Structure formats: structure tokens, C-alpha cells
Amino acid sequence: MMRAVFIVMSLCCLISCKKALDATPDGRISYDDVFQDKEKVKAMFNTCFDNLPLKGLNYFFFANNPVGLSDESWYTRTDGPLADAYNGSVTAANNSLEMTGVLGFPWDGDYWASYFKQIRRINLFLQNIGQAKVESEKEREWWTAEAHLLRAFFYMELIKWYGPVPLTTSVMQVGDDYSKIKKASYADICRQIVADCDVALASQNLPWRLIDGNQQKRMTKGIAAALRGQAALYAASPANNNGENLWEWAYQVNKESVALLEQNGYQLYTDYQVGGNYSSAYQEYFAQNPDYSATPNDKETIMENFRASMDFFDIQTLPILGGSFAGNVPTQELIDAYDMAATGKPVLDPVKPYLDEQHLQPNYLPGSGYDPQKPYEGRDPRFYASTFYNGSTYIVAGYGSDNIAPIETFVGGNCGLNLNNAKHTHTGYYSRKSYFTLYWPAVFRFADGKPRFFRLGRSFLDLAECAAETGRVQEAMDYVNKIRRRAGFAPAVDKVAASAEEARRIVRSERRVELAYEEARYFDVRRWTPRDQDMKEEKFVTGMRITKNTDGSFKYERFVLGPGNGAPSKSNYQKKWHFYPIPQKEVIKLEAATGEVWQNKGW
């Protein structure tokens, strides 16, 4: 059966290789034919870029699945994949989170089949490019480097979703023994990812960044540096290291990656380009679209979505904008994670943030400066950059006499909490991250910022985590404070850690807020949690019910999201959710060929 599967995959590779790979009139085409024709080689190379994910709001029906599954967000629609995950109806045979190609949109999903198809194409290309006919040796070397990097990228995506998978760097043939196929260890796959990235970094022709918007799907050395760092970090993490201490290796990989990125022009985005329209450089950064030039304003972004921006005004909207639904709205847990600006201290005790399992009793940290009756005053500047909250404002063309719309999330307000309406918040908050500066759809439709896959700020935090885990406490804090100063914190309130354990807590907290809504938290919690344990952070998530009193003051009341009566908010907190189930149809084929159990534990 596996032989048939790989034969079909081979045919798919050729069938989809664009017009240049059309067969002869009698229907025959061989790999020799492909690689001895310059145009067919180019077409084959182009197929290596197929199935790159879009991320952001490009999961089924404009959701962001990793954000919605994590403890940083709640999805307001009560139907669809995220609702299935919340209520426990996802199975290996019916995983709606992986739906793709429905309603005419190229939703992200079907990862196992799509990414292994890509890996086989890439292996086939790499196996033949050395002797293929090309325009120049420069082209051959460049394409080879990109193919290695693409293979690394697809393998990283596979293991993030499924955990250990088969590792192959060659093309399996019909006569091969498929009964010997098995999963490689997480660490070994990550080592191969790093090795492939190193090939890309050694290239004489692969650029460090793109300067042509028409080439925005192409790979760069910047991507290679960031990806190898992420792979090493994930391999060393508690859930993935299989008892092997890989932190020193991960530190060295990340140290080198960050040094290379900085040496080649990558910088944190710190300068306003549109003065006064955003509350901070951090907010402006995420609302900006790609800058493909030799001297870009944005030197932080390494890789991002390559398609048009999403229309946040419609599918992650405020009720006053008349859109379709609010989508992924921030939880109270995410709001609690933002520090106080003046003191730099967390609102909640970092060791024990809540006094109860359901998060209804916050354990406030003395001396932080937080006032529960003024919960949104004096917070981390990234809170204001990323969140619409009660009392915030937004520029809305035609709203009132000054185009300034107040955001009222209290019950009965213009954007009020309403658990029965998908257009309204279910938590008391709306996401603002990546929102364009104003609402004027006739002029600025699809102007919101694109999802960033890799950026220098994330690489800084990858290195900071590895430094903390290897006892390099001061170095970890140095990178954390670089991030916090860009956000707007004063040097006087820089983070200081007295131990590696405290440094770990600080780094993890910093990742939570700096990378909020960037599809990091879902994977972070899973790699930090041993595989035999539940993701307790996601078991209960809460919102804030705000009631306006007759005197104009407000009452604040935390409440648990989900079915209620003490039931967990989301079923995806369970330990089996460390990884997605391998699609059952694939498991059936693999088990028939190998006689081994293939399904991820618990599914």
C-alpha cells in the first residue's frame, strides 16, 4: 500500500509542476526529461514553494487556530473548528482544525499530506539539481540553498503540529522496503533542520533579505538563521528532548543566529514612520505592511505572510464597524500578563498568579502599583498597542463630530460583552494587534499588518530562553530588556533575575506578551509541559464582565468561559493535545505497511 502511496505522490509532483511540465502527447514524461530541460527544471523548482502556510486569520473560516486554542484567546463563533476543539469533538478521523480548500479559500490545513508532498518534491529536486540543465551555476547554487531551507521549514511545521515524524532526505523508490519506516526523534529532526539551514547560510548567492516584492515567497539567509534557532530551542525544550540535555547546543545555535542577523542588518523596529498615529513603535510595527527595498524602514521582519493583508475590520472586528464577527478575543489571562509600566512589576504573583484553579481569585503582587478599580491604567505599553478595552478609543471615519469612537465593553455598551453574539466580545476585550491606524474602508481596506512568521524580536527571546536555561542569567535579562525598552519601559525598571529559575519565569512571561497573537503561545506551552501532563494553563480561561453603575463608575467581575458548572473551558488542555492527531487515513496506510502503532498518544 505504501508503494502505491509514494507512486501517487510522485505523479502528483509531476502533474502539478505548472504548464512547463506538461506531458508529451502520448502522456509520458520522465524525471530525466524534466531535469534536462531548463524550463521544466525551473517549473519543478517553483513547485517546491507550494503549500507554504499563510497563518494569521487564514485557518478555516478566518480563525487563527493556534491563538484560539491557547490561553491567550477565546473564539466568539460557536460553530466551526475551534468550537469543536473546545467541546471535545475533534478526532483523528474528523479533525476540522485541518479543513482546507473549503468555500474556495486556501485555508491552512491538511499539513501531513501537504508538507510531506512538499518534502518529497524537494528531495527529488535536490537529488537531481546537481546534474540538471540550468541557466547558470549561480542559479543552481541559489536554488539548491533555497530547497534545503524549504525542506527545513516544512519539517519544522510538521513537528510543531504532529511531533516526531519520519525523516527522509532522499526519494524513496517503488522497490524500497517501506516496512522499515519509523518516526525519527524530535531532536534528530531538529538537527537536520539546523543542518539544512546551515547549507543555506553557506550559500554564496542566497540574499539576507528580499528587496523585490514580486519575490516575497522566496527564501533568505535571514529565514535560515531564525529557523535554525527556533529548531534548536524546540528540541531542547522539556516536552521534546527525550531526557537529553540539549540546552548548551541550543544556546550556541541561537547565539550564532542572532549574531548573524544583527551583522547583516536586522534591527528592532524603534522609529516611528507615521508620527502620532500609533501609541508606540511596537504598535506601528505590526500595522505596517512589507517594505521590500534596499534600505527598508522595517529591518525587524524576517519572514511574513506573502498574500494580501486580511480585512480585520470584517473578521476580527468591533461591533461599531459593522463586520461579521469579533473572532479571536483576548482572555483575562492575557490581560493579567501585562506588567505595570511605572514599576516594571507584574500585576500578579509570578510564582502563583491565581489562588484558585478557575482563575477567579487573582493573587495580586504587592507593590506593583496595580489598582483593581482602575485595571487599565498604567499598564505595559504593549497592552494598549494590542488590546481594545473599555475606555479605549479608535479613529472611525464619520463617527461623531471628531471621528473618535469610544470603545464601551461594559454590558450594554456599543461594543459590550454579549456571550450570545459572535460580533461582540465574549471576554470584555478585542484584539488590536496589527490593526491599521483608522477605520476608513473606502480608502484603507485590507491595510492591516500581515502575520510575521519570524522577526528579530522573537529571535532575541529564543536566545534569552536558551541563556536562562544554561545559567547565563544576565545575558537572558539583557535580551529581555532590549525587547522591553523598545516597548516603552524605562531602563530604571529593567528586569533583574536572582536565579536561573527566576530568569526562566521572566523570559516565559515576556514571550507571552511580546509575542501575543503571533502563534507562539500555543506551541510554547506545549513544549514547556512534559508530555505526560495536561496543559493546565488552558483548562480554565476567563473574561471580565463590566457593569456600568448609575454614578458612572464600573463594577468588574471575572467569569469562567465555556460550558460552566465547573467544566473546563477548553478540552484541548488535555495532554493528548501536545500534538494534533495524525490523520486517521494516513495512520491506516502506515500501520498496514509497518505493523507498528503510528497514532499520537491519546488519539
Confidence of residue 259 (pLDDT cuts 50, 70, 90): very high
Give the angle subtended at the CA of 531 by the CAs of 530 and 532, to the nearest 5°.
Answer: 95
* Integer Cα distance of 290 and 560 in angstroms: 39
250-254, 294-298, 501-505, 575-579: least confidently modelled range = 294-298
Name the average pLDDT for the chain. Answer: 92
Q: Are 84 and 96 in contact (CB under 8 A)?
A: yes
Q: What is the pLDDT of residue 315?
A: 80
Residue 176 pLDDT exceeds 90: no
DSSP letters of 323-335?
-S---EEE-HHHH
pLDDT digits (tens, 9 = 90+) for 23-46: 444 456 788 889 999 999 999 999
In the block, which residue shows the cell 499563510?
54
Q: What is the pLDDT of residue 452?
A: 92
Q: What is the pLDDT of residue 509?
A: 99
Confidence of residue 311 (pLDDT cuts 50, 70, 90): low
Q: What is the pLDDT of residue 312?
A: 66
What percent helix, strand, coil does the chain show, rounded to 5?
Answer: 40, 10, 50
DSSP letters of 464-488?
HHHHHHTT-HHHHHHHHHHHHHHHT
* Integer Cα distance of 116 and 436 in angstroms: 36
User: Tell me: domain 211-307+450-526, CATH 1.25.40.900, correct?
Assistant: yes
Q: What is the pLDDT of residue 272?
A: 79
Q: What is the pLDDT of residue 18?
A: 42
For residue 160, give the 3-state DSSP assignment. helix
Q: What is the pLDDT of residue 364?
A: 99
How far is residue 406 CA from its own chain's centroid? 31
For residue 277, give the 3-state DSSP assignment. coil
Segment 227-234 shows an average pLDDT of 99
Amino acid identity at 589: K
Least Cα distance to 240 among 165, 186, 159, 166 occurs for: 186
pLDDT higher for 444 or 50? 50
Q: What is the pLDDT of residue 369?
A: 99
Segment 199-216 shows an average pLDDT of 95
- Please state, in angstroms and as integers, the Cα–Cα distance from residue 527 to each residue in 186, 239, 256, 501, following that order: 11, 5, 22, 17
Q: Kindly calculate the radius of gyration of the chain based on its CA atoms and give it in whole angstroms.
A: 24
| CA torsion angle 383 384 389 394 (round to 10) | -160
Segment 386-404 shows an average pLDDT of 92
pLDDT higher for 343 or 443? 343
